Structures are given as structure tokens and as C-alpha cells.
Amino acid sequence: MLDHGAAPPAEGRLTAAPQRLRTRLTRRKPVERLVTEGGKGDGGSLRRSLGVWQLTMISIGATLGTGIFVVLGEAVPDAGPAVVLSFVLAGLTALFSALSYAELAGSVPVSGSSYSYAYATLGELVAWICGWCLILEYGVSVAAVAVGWGEYLNTFLDGTLGVTIPAAIAAPPGDGGHFNLPALVLVLLCMAFLLGGAKESARANTIMVVVKIAALLLFCAVAVTGIKAGNYQPFMPLGLAGVSAAGSSLFFSYIGFDAASTAGEEAKNPQRDLPRAIMLSLLIVTVVYCLVAAVAVGALPWREFTGSEAALAGIMEHVTGQSFWAVLLAAGAVIAIASVVLTVLYGQTRILFAMSRDGLVPRVFSKVHPRTGVPRANTLIVSLFCGVLAAVVPLGELVNATSIGTLFAFALVNVGVVVLRRTRPDLKRTFRVPLSPLFPAIGFGLCVYMMTRLDLITWKYFGLWMVAGLAVYFGYGMRRSRLATADPASADLAAAEK
């Protein structure tokens, strides 16, 4: 007689446990559920107040300025005059990923950017890894950009008031100082803007974007008078390897074009406006980068680029022989870099908002202030962390760490497009990547290639970051995930529907 109350055989229990673990790790959050929960936080909701113009300005604000004002001086010694091609290479890498971002932003119009897209397509574990990379990309890049702000501020103060901030409190350890006070002050100022509300922050960002575009056009108008044909020879002194190495570093300059996707729950018409904002911002940024880089290397011999974080101001003074133009450009750079910090800091808070709402990080990050519609505690915590990081860590290490996190997240977005086309062919898409899956495959391949061009030490830091992230997920996120605690049955079903 069969004993129906007997325990299952040991072999069955052993095979069931790995299956349950796989189900947990691959459970996906349905697109419809992501959209339904969109904007809803703990104690309030995000407010839909942003149109296509504000979204485009957010992406431009998060992107334009970083590579030109801060990293150009470090990239030119690697590539020579061919740094223009390095910008093109980095831009092409970003373009294929931007196409994938545009499709997913129109299909899954929520906060969280590629984290949310991965949750809907690749499963919870991959989504967590992507979100962990975004924390590295956005959070650390805030600090990296803020570090370069101090040098332009000193140029401006020296030219107008004849004073500079002492090196001991104007640079982090390892860069000739002990504490980067200007970087900390900048992050705290941006925090104050963000606490006022998304619409108010977008308005301030739009003004700053207009100012920095005007500053870069002024640079081109003045520096073009100093162009010498001989400065472009030899055009590629360090070969293709130099172009690739510089391109990997300059990819840091393109992080931010996806910032509009972090505003999916504060956009008035996200399915229509997000793809437009992403593509338009990338086009504008690439054209400006290539134009400014071409003028810069034509006006100053590439061997004279010393890695200064205020390279453009130095070129202006070199061409004109007067400090006035350099001071004017420095003023524009001060505003430009502030815009980058403001918008990237905004993106970081919205990514953590989405991860918190899903239960993968503490609930404090999804608490929304009922009056301003802002995740206040989230903004305070992220800003203080990034401010302290900017004050004590050198720029170079931050740039490379940010680049690898960005490339990894972008690679996952390209995979996500292909997966969602297969699993949800009926889903409404306001933008479609042409020649899919070819273009997403190219985007994925370019991201992987750019990652291989980064230094071994960067990979070591990245590996340590990933180990820490997996420890947090398995120790906290996997058990507290809302898919696990609120509706495990539907989560298991979603994981099985592949």
C-alpha cells in the first residue's frame, strides 16, 4: 500500500531545491505591473510634470560637459589629434545602446532605467546586477564630475577676485590635497535644488544647459582663430590602440543620455517623449563633443595637453594671450558641470526609488514627501554619500570605475530588447530598434569591446563591487523582494514563461 503521507524521496528534495533557487533568481516582473506601480512610493507619488523639452534637457544636462570640460585633457595624450575619432567611437557605442534604450523606454515607461527593463526581461538577479551597476554609474559619476568642478572654480576665482582655494581643501588625497571642499559644496547645492521638486529642478537645469552650450560655442569661436594645420600631424601618433584606449575613457562622457529614462514616472507622456528625448540628446551631445575636440587639438599641440581638468580654459588663454576669455569659459564650465551633477544625482535617486519599491533595497529610498513629490530621505542619503566620495577620492579612479559600470548596464539593455521582442511580441512599442536583433547585437559587442580596453585595476575594482552587490542581494534583496513576499505564485509563473 502506498503511504501518501510519506516525505518525498531525498533525491527529489535535492533536485527541487536548485529548481526553486533558479525560479527565484529568474522571476520577472510583468511590464503591466511595472507600469501600474509607476510613480507610487511610500507615503506619496511622483508627479508627472516633465515634457519632451525638459526630458531632453535632463539628458543633455547629465551628459554634455563631463568629457569636454573635465576628461578631454586626459584623453588627448592617449590618442593625439585622433581624439576626435575617440569621441566618434564612444558615440557609436552609445548610439546602438541608445536605440535599445529608446525602444525599452517607450515600452516600459517607468523609473529605474535599465534596472527596470532588466527586471521585465532578464529576471530579478540580472536586474539587481544591473541596478548595482547603475549605482556605480550614477552615484560615482556624480562624485567624479564634482571633483573636476573645483579646478574650474579656482580659474574663475583667480581671474575675477585674484584668489584661489588652497590646494589642501580643493583636491582629494592623491591629487595634492587632503579634502575637496568645492566638490562637496557642489553636491550639497544640487541636493537643495532636487529637494524643491522635479519641475523646479528641471527648470534650473534647462537654464544651466543653455549657458554651457553657449560657453562651448564661445570656445569654438575664439579657439578656431588659433588653429594650425601642423597640430593635426601626425593625426594618429599612438595608432588605433591609442584611439581605443581614449575612447574607453571618453565613454564616460556619454553617460547621462539615458538620464531621461530615469524620469519615466515624472514624464507627462513617457511612451512618446522618452524615445525622442534620448535620441535627440545623444545627437546634440555628439556633434558638440566632436566640434569642440577638433578645435581644441587644432589650437594646441597634442603633446602640450598635460591632463589638466581645466584644459579648455588653458587653450583659450593660449590662443588669445589674455586671461579674460579663459575666465569667461571657466564661468561657463562652473555652471555646466553643476548641471551634470544635478541631473545625474537626480537619476541616481530615481533608480534607488524603483529598487526600493521592489523591495530590493530598504523602504526609506521610496518614501515620497507628500508636499513636494520628492523622495526626500533618498535624496539626502545619496547626496551625502556622493559628496563625501567626491571630497576624498581622486578623479581618474572614479572615471574608470564609472565607465565599466555604464558599459555593463548598456550591454544588458541591448540583450533586454531582444528578449522582450521574443517574450512579448504583442507589447505596444512607440519606437523600434531597426534591424533587430542585429543592431542590439552590435551594441552589445561594442560595449564588451570597450570594457576589454579598460585597465586591469578597473576590472579588479569592478569585481569587488560585484561581489559586494551579490552579497547584499543574497543577504537582503532576494528574501525581501516584493515578488517573493507579496505574490510568489505569480512571480514563479512569470519566471516559467520563457
The pLDDT tens digits of the residues spanning 177-231 come to 788 888 899 999 999 989 888 778 888 888 888 888 888 888 899 889 888 888 8
C-alpha pair distances (Å), 65 with each of 230, 351, 425: 27, 22, 39
- Residue 213 burial (C-beta neighbours within 10 Å; 0-12, 13-18, 19+): middle
The span from the CA of 482 to the CA of 479, in Å, is 9
Percent of the chain with pLDDT over 70: 87
User: Sorting pLDDT into bands at 50, 70 and 90, what band is 272?
Assistant: confident
Give the phi and the psi of residue 165 in degrees, each rounded to 5: -75, 130
Q: Which residues pair with 17 in a beta bridge?
A: none
Q: Which residues pair with 367 in a beta bridge?
A: 42
**DSSP H helical ranges for 170-258:** 181-195, 198-223, 239-250
The span from the CA of 392 to the CA of 412, in Å, is 31
The pLDDT tens digits of the residues spanning 365-423 come to 988 887 778 888 999 999 998 888 888 876 565 566 677 888 888 898 999 999 999 98
* Per-residue pLDDT at 498 exceeds 50: no
Tell me what the pLDDT averaged over the chain comes to: 81
Has domain 50-451 been given CATH number 1.20.1740.10? yes
Contact 67, 250 (CB under 8 A): yes
The span from the CA of 347 to the CA of 111, in Å, is 9
The predicted model gives 79-92 an average pLDDT of: 88
- Residue 185 burial (C-beta neighbours within 10 Å; 0-12, 13-18, 19+): middle
Per-position b or e across 296-318, b if 16+ CB within 10 A of its CB: bbbbbbbeebeebbbbbbbbbbe
Give the pLDDT of residue 368: 86
The span from the CA of 408 to the CA of 222, in Å, is 39
Q: Cell numbers of 443, please?
A: 551594441
* Per-residue pLDDT at 450 exceeds 70: yes
User: Sorting pLDDT into bands at 50, 70 and 90, what band is 456?
Assistant: confident
- The more confident residue out of 116 and 326 is 116
Q: Which residues pair with 45 in a beta bridge?
A: 40
Q: DSSP character for 176?
A: T
The span from the CA of 123 to the CA of 104, in Å, is 15
- The more confident residue out of 312 and 340 is 340
For residue 365, give the H/E element and its range.
none
The predicted model gives 325-341 an average pLDDT of: 82
The span from the CA of 244 to the CA of 83, in Å, is 9
Domains of the chain: which residue ranges? 50-451
The pLDDT tens digits of the residues spanning 273-302 come to 889 888 899 889 888 988 989 998 998 888
* Per-residue pLDDT at 496 exceeds 60: no
Contact 409, 114 (CB under 8 A): yes
pTM, 2 dp: 0.80
The span from the CA of 252 to the CA of 70, in Å, is 10
Q: DSSP character for 46?
A: -
